[in-house]
Amino acid sequence: MRDSITAKITLGSFLALIAITASLVAGEKPASGKPPSPASMPLPGAESLQDGDALMLADRASDALREYENAALHGNAEAGGRLGNLLLFGCKSFKTTQGVTANPAEGVRWTFVAATNRVASACENLGKAYELGIGVKTNLVEAYAWMRLARSFKPDLKLTHLDQLAVRLDSAQVRQAQELAETYRRGNWPTCPVKRLVNGDSRLTLNGVTMGGRTPLAVINRQTFALGESGMVRLRDGSLRILCAEIGGNSVTVEVEGEAEAHLLLMQ
């Protein structure tokens, strides 16, 4: 995506470059007399963000995902919002094999980071996640609060969904959501609703997964858990209370009570 550029520098231009660099180091102002304004300086990861957008237009979502992640890891909040969007909802590709499979928990994490950096589209997506129960438990009050916050950050954002959501709340819930939105707008952010994910846990073993039937089931340390179920598991030297947060074809995400990280268990 990025073209390599070969520049031929003459001796004169090279010496001029050294002189300019020396003057900047010495604290002198540029020829314009004004230092570059922050608005004129490129945002971190801006090039990867642009590359990601171009790849999305080319129906290459999986490649775009990598570019967005690179930009987001460099602190670009807009890229984090796009990354979160892809991971929350997934992206099917009808022209190529470069679709993206949804990863709701990871999508919530990136969306939350972008939303708390005042990216309006990320606030809207976090609201949708709360409304639909994608990666988080359904919470219509939080959903309304985040969508209202999105509108406060970008007044021209079309959110017909916000009015539809208000109808599903009673007056007390609407007031609560409005107060939450104002609290968030002032920068008093909540904690991320999804724990950081780490691979494995030496205390826990995934013995099996059943995806058939009405509810997916996972067998952890030879004890069966339904999706969303919490309970105690026996260990050699005690027990743990865990929550079965996600069940995949050959993996399970569990949260251990009292711990800050979630654990991805793979089939043994």
More confident residue, 8 or 248: 248
pLDDT tens per residue, range 42-101: 567 889 999 999 999 999 998 999 999 999 988 999 999 999 999 999 988 777 677 888
Residues 181 and 208 in one domain: no
Residue 233 · residue 199 · CB < 8 Å: no
The pLDDT assigned to 106 comes to 85
Residue 134 CA to residue 127 CA, distance in Å, equals 10
How would residue 144 be classed by pLDDT, with cut points 50, 70 and 90?
A: very high
Residues 202 and 171 in one domain: no
Total residue count of the chain as it appears in this document: 268
The pLDDT assigned to 26 comes to 38
pLDDT tens per residue, range 150-177: 999 998 877 777 888 889 999 999 999 9
pLDDT tens per residue, range 187-233: 999 988 888 778 899 999 999 999 877 788 999 999 999 988 999 99
Among 20-34, 52-66, 102-116, 161-175, the least confident range? 20-34
| 97 φ, ψ (degrees, to nearest 5) | -100, 20
Residue 45 CA to residue 52 CA, distance in Å, equals 11
Could you list the residue range(s) of the whole structural domain that residue 110 is in?
A: 47-185
pTM, 2 dp = 0.65
Q: Is residue 223 part of a domain?
A: yes
Residue 111 · residue 143 · CB < 8 Å: no
Instruction: Give the CATH number of the domain where residue 122 resides.
Output: 1.25.40.10
Range with the largest mean pLDDT of 24-28, 39-43, 122-126, 251-255: 122-126
- Cα dihedral 136, 187, 86, 151, rounded to 10, equals 100
Helix (H) or strand (E) holding 14: helix 11-25
Residues 125 and 233 in one domain: no
Residues 104 and 179 in one domain: yes
The pLDDT assigned to 13 comes to 38
Q: What is the distance, to the nearest Å, from the Cα of residue 203 to the centroid of all Cα atoms in its chain?
A: 28
- Beta 261-266 vs 196-199: how paired, if at all? parallel
The pLDDT assigned to 95 comes to 73
Q: Is residue 21 part of a domain?
A: no
Q: What angle do CA 52, 37, 40 make, to 5 degrees?
A: 25
